Amino acid sequence: DQQVKQNSPSLSVQEGRISILNCDYTNSMFDYFLWYKKYPAEGPTFLISISSIKDKNEDGRFTVFLNKSAKHLSLHIVPSQPGDSAVYFCAAAGNNDMRFGAGTRLTVKP
Amino acid sequence: DTGVSQNPRHKITKRGQNVTFRCDPISEHNRLYWYRQTLGQGPEFLTYFQNEAQLEKSRLLSDRFSAERPKGSFSTLEIQRTEQGDSAMYLCASSLRGPNQPQHFGDGTRLSIL
């Protein structure tokens, strides 16, 4: 059962522009949401998170938006840099359970 | 760097053999998680420990899989009588106890079954 979905397997943007990665979830019990970044041959690295009591969390170039009514979250990266090229996973957590999406491969072109 | 450490990084074995992986979490983290990841998918939860207690196991964790965390520090994941379908990346993560604590991952052990 795919409780967390990332419908875009890949995204390509130009350096300096905004990258928007999207994620949808189905289980309303999830109350904590995270984004991870993964380079080849490395484990996922925690990037940013948001709890369900907020609708926005910002950390430098990274902002996560949460729309609880739509069960949708997004990660905005601005400005995008070539070093941001990686696979991004969203995750949703609740009741000691965490589920991951299948990931979106972001390519930032110089 | 005192991040999550996993050993070995790669394991190649013949079908039917037993394998054991080790995970050393971040030292102050009392929660430890095991995940499995296959190509094109996100990590799938297998099991988790709070200190030495195994609190939850996924139905993905068949009888051939067993995990331990005997002293509440490092953990081992053993797979007995390996099968082709066990080929995957096995990831370990750790976190502090409490709500809204991010999990921090190791670089994983890649298992290949010949």
A51 touches chain B (CB under 8 A): yes
B98 touches chain A (CB under 8 A): no
A58 vs A24: CA distance, rounded Å = 19
Is residue A23 scored above 60 in pLDDT?
yes
Separation in Å, CA of B109 to nearest CA in chain A: 10
Q: Could you tell me which of A62, A107, A61, A109 has the C-alpha nearest to residue A86?
A: A107
Mutation test of the interface with chain A: which of B32, B89, B100, choosing the one with the most A Cβ atoms within 10 A? B100
A16 vs A87: CA distance, rounded Å = 19
Among A44, A46, A96, the residue with its CB nearest the CB of B43 is: A44
Among A41, A51, A103, the residue with its CB nearest the CB of B100 is: A51
User: Which residue of chain B comes nearest to A93, CA vs CA?
Assistant: B100
Distances (CA, A) of A67 to A16, A25, A50, A109, B10: 26, 11, 11, 29, 40
Specify the pairing of strand A104-109 against strand A10-14: parallel
Q: Could you tell me which of A107, A65, A24, A92 has the C-alpha nearest to residue B43?
A: A92
How confident is the model over B51-109, as pLDDT tens digits? 999 998 988 888 999 999 998 899 999 999 999 999 999 999 999 988 889 999 999 99
Is residue A95 scored above 80 in pLDDT?
no
Is residue A96 scored above 80 in pLDDT?
no
Assign A1 a pLDDT band (cuts: 50, 70, 90): low
A-chain residues near B4 (CB < 8 A): 43
User: Which residue of chain B comes nearest to A38, CA vs CA?
Assistant: B107
Mutation test of the interface with chain B: which of A5, A47, A100, choosing the one with the most B Cβ atoms within 10 A? A100
Assign B1 a pLDDT band (cuts: 50, 70, 90): low
Size of interface A-B (CB pairs under 8 A): 51
How confident is the model over A39-83, as pLDDT tens digits? 998 999 999 999 999 999 999 999 999 999 999 999 999 999 999
